[in-house]
Amino acid sequence: MIRLRSSRTVLLAAVASLVTVATLAACGGDGGTTNPGTTAPDTLDVFTPGNIFSPTTAEIRVGGTIRWRISEANDGTGHNVIFAGTAAGTPADIPVVKGVTVLRTFNRTGTFPYACTVHPGMNGDVIVR
Ligand SMILES: [Cu+2]
């Protein structure tokens, strides 16, 4: 009898965990809408190896989030992420930082180019579908 209860408890805990994961996945964390017609991910990491953004073109679903994982630059500085205008959200500029992760959620479709103004030629695009 005790063994049966123990198995049932484990099963209930497993079901509760799955429900929690499903609920978190459905929310997306930002309340934005998602586009079920695209295979673009909800969240994408962009890294700064050397003095480039990688991937250079980051594609996500509408309501998705880009995480810039900014590391120290070759010259010992950080990087910044500067959008032209505020169409990509505000603030348009994400300051020079290093060793941190910067998040930006995109709630409208479009192509949003950005650049690091510390390092000429260090550019990227966010495509939101
Ligand atoms: Cu840079």
Q: Name the H helices within the chain.
A: 2-27
The boundaries of the domain holding residue 82 are 43-128
Mean per-residue pLDDT pooled into runs of 10, the chain (129 residues) = 43 36 37 62 93 96 94 88 84 80 92 95 96
Ligand 1 centroid distance, CA of 117 (Å): 7
Can you point out the beta strands (E) in 32-122? 43-47, 57-60, 65-70, 79-83, 93-97, 100-105, 110-115
Same domain, 52 and 74: yes
User: Per the domain annotation, does 38 fall within a domain?
Assistant: no
* Domain total in the chain: 2
Ligand 1 centroid distance, CA of 76 (Å): 10
User: Which residues place a Cβ less than 5 A from the ion ligand 1?
Assistant: 79, 116, 118-119, 122
pLDDT of residue 35: 61
d(CA 59, CA 35): 13
